[in-house]
Amino acid sequence: MTFEARVGQLQSFYGDVAMKMLTDKVVVRIKHSLLPKGCIPSEVDFLLTFPLSQDVPNGWFVKEQIRLPNGTMPNSSPTMIDGEAWFGYSYRFQWDSSQDPMYQYVESALHRFARTA
């Protein structure tokens, strides 16, 4: 699947999606992504980073730190991307880039915040 097709999937699923080409990567921002019930905040901007000329993301970030439903704050790595502060997480989840839609990757990342362990 091409990068453009993946971004198209995200736009169809989320609506408010913007793409920007940087010197070393492409970033795709999804505004107002909903977090699982009980998380604070309840929605965040979500950012995917793609290496140039690749259709699979190599990182994902949220705009704000997140408090889980049990009240804890998971470890995050603050980073600057295109002049903005973002928080990265090392959560891993299953996603098969050869067959799973791009929104499944995003939803898997977001729903990981429902787990408290």
Per-residue pLDDT at 82 exceeds 60: yes
**Element housing 111 (H / E):** helix 102-111
User: What integer is the mean pLDDT of 66-70?
Assistant: 93
Give the model's pLDDT for residue 30.
97
Q: Where are the beta strands (DSSP E) in 1-117?
A: 17-21, 25-34, 43-51, 59-62, 77-81, 84-88
pLDDT, tens digit (0-9, with 9 covering 90-100), for 13-48: 999 999 999 999 999 999 999 999 999 999 999 999
User: What integer is the mean pLDDT of 88-116?
Assistant: 87
One-letter amino acid identity for 116?
A: T
Give the model's pLDDT for residue 56.
87
Q: Which of 82, 112, 78, 76 is CA-nearest to residue 94?
A: 112
**What is the residue extent of each domain of the chain?**
3-114
